[in-house]
Structure 1
Amino acid sequence: MIETEEQKIVDEVIASRRSIRAFLPTPVARDEIQKIIEIAARAPSGSNTQPWKVYVLIGEVKQQLSDEILQAHNNPHSAYKEEYHYYPVQWLSPYLERRRKIGWDLYSLLGLGRENKAGMHAQHGRNFIFFDAPVGIIFTIDRVMQQGSWLDYGMFLQNIMLAAKARGLDTCPQAAFTQYHQIIHKTLNLSDQEMVVCGMSLGYADTTKIENTLVTERGTSIVKFV
């Protein structure tokens, strides 16, 4: 089968998308961000419910949220917990091995050994400054929505990342923010009906940073023809 140019372009955008963990301070135009979100909203959703709500953080509010979450992150006595389980309560193979591998692959690039707990803690804390990206995004969903709407939300998030990549921008989706949903609710003045889904960094990748050379593996036996 001969690939068309359109297929090649789409495949390249999908294959080149990666989670970037170091960004340049280069600003991203607001109309560019708006266009990315508008085109991403063409994602399918059950009965066209469109369950996504998007908060784009730039400047002072972004800095305020980062400062408040980092303070909690660095406080050994803080007791913030996730509002929902992103990861399984009990890990099984092969998921545990995959999770460990990406963690150690990243820390190895950064020169962080297993004994360097402070270094790993600091690296995890970079989530909360959006890895220095000029744009931070927080996504929420109405509490009445059920599991199907979360599936819809995933397609919307993927659309954002691909639309950004097609424009020369990079992203990092971040479940780390869910632990601090209480701080996010207060800082962004969310309604009681809103639940934090995740965060996302958006900007231009800093290609000089070694962490951005990380390329994760993908399974080779995920398809079964029956």
Structure 2
Amino acid sequence: MPVTDPHSVTAALHQRRSIRKFTGQPVDQALLRDIFAAAQRAPSGGNLQPWQATVLTGAPWAAVKDAVAARLAMGREGYQPEYDIYPKGLTDPWETRRFGVGEGLYAALGIPREDKAGRLAQFVENYRGFGAPVMLFLHCSRIMGPPQWSDMGMWLQSVMLLLVEAGLASCPQECWAMYGKTVRETLALGDDQILFTGLAIGYADEDAAVNQWPVPRVGLDEVIDWQGF
């Protein structure tokens, strides 16, 4: 579909990508309030609106990064997974897609497979939000099930597209759920909450190679089964 209106939903979908290097430019809270207010129009089953978000900048955001850095230093012993981010025993075609996007990322950065230290350093950038000045942590009550998690995803996509419309960028980061307990404790969330994901928010560094490499999408024939047309 050709994009003729630069302010259309189609344009926002084409422009949106997971940004992995942000500038340090602050984000105006009033702008974020407008975006979140508009995102409240996202659908949810039974109008439950199960999403809850904690949005951080400045010292509170730094406190989360510091707390998680201490867990990172513990290696695997520091893991506190809220849920399985990827299914156990992931098979093709999904495993190939997952592997391919990782290799594409490192290739864009010029980090070869044998450069373990370089790859680790890039991995750690996840837990700095890639330099984003704002981090949104999306969570919900533990009583919620898969349908409500689907609702959270629709809210999150709405936020990401609205950010594009406002000239902002984002990166959804489920990786924070690997240290869910530490994040929840630092945010003073009760044990009744489960952490779903983080969303780094800010202004993209447009010149960074990590923000320019092409991220492939499979063709329609791989995901759509047409019947009765």
TM-score range normalised by the length of the shorter chain: over 0.9
Report 1:46-65 matches (<5 A).
Answer: 46-65=45-64
Aligned partners of 2:122 and 2:133: how far apart in 1? 18
Q: Determine what percentage of the aligned residue pairs are the same residue.
A: 35
Does the 8 A contact of 1:18 with 1:215 survive in 2?
no
Q: After TM superposition, give the deviation of residue 2 of structure 1 in Å.
A: 10
1:13-34 Cα shifts (integer Å, max 9, x gaps): 1111000000001111001111
Give, as a single letter, the amino acid of the residue that structure 2 aligns with 1:83: E
Instruction: Report Cα offsets for 1:163-221 as digits up to 9, x if no partner.
Output: 00001100000011001111111110001110000001001000121100122111112
Q: Deviations over 1:76-135 (max 9, x none)?
A: 363313121121101111101101111011011112111222221211111111110111
Q: Which residue of 1 aligns with 2:224?
A: 223
Report the aligned-residue RMSD. 1.8
Q: Does 1:36 align with 2:35?
A: yes
8 Å CA contact 2:173, 2:197 repeated in 1: yes
Normalising by structure 1, we get a TM-score of: 0.94
Structure 2: how far apart are the matches of 1:107 and 1:2?
A: 31
Structure 1 window deviating more from structure 2 (17-26 vs 82-91): it is: 82-91
Q: Distance in 2 between matches of 1:79 and 1:202?
A: 26
Gaps of at least 5 residues in structure 1 are none
Change (3 A) 1:185 1:99: same
Q: Residue 185 of structure 1 corresponds to which residue in structure 2? A: 184
Give the letter aligned to residue 173 of structure 2: Q
* Residues 5 and 11 in structure 2, CA contact (< 8 A), matched pair in contact too: no
User: How many Å separate the matches in 1 of 2:32 and 2:98?
Assistant: 31
2:130 counterpart of 1:131: yes
- Separation of aligned partners in 1, 2:76 and 2:185: 20
In structure 2, the residue corresponding to 1:78 is in which secondary structure? helix
TM-score (norm. length: structure 2): 0.93
* Alignment check: 8 A CA contact 2:80 2:181 kept: no
Question: Residue 75 of structure 2: SS of its match in structure 1?
Answer: coil
Amino acid at match of 2:134: V
Q: Is contact 2:3-2:11 (8 Å) kept?
A: no
Report the Cα offset of residue 5 of structure 1: 4.7
The separation in 1 between residues aligned to 2:158 and 2:165, in whole angstroms, is 10
Q: 1:3 to 1:14 in 2, by over 3 A?
A: closer
Secondary structure, aligned partner of 1:100: helix
Which residue matches 2:74? 75
Alpha-carbon contact 2:72-2:78 (below 8 Å) kept:
no
Where 1:183 maps in the other structure, the secondary structure is helix
Question: Could you list the runs of 4 or more consecutive aligned residues of structure 1 that deviate by over 3 angstroms after TM superposition?
Answer: 1-6
CA contact (8 A) 2:3 2:10 kept: no
Contact 1:51 1:153 in 2 (8 A): yes
Cα 1:166/1:79, change in 2 over 3 Å: same
Give the match for residue 14 of structure 1.
13
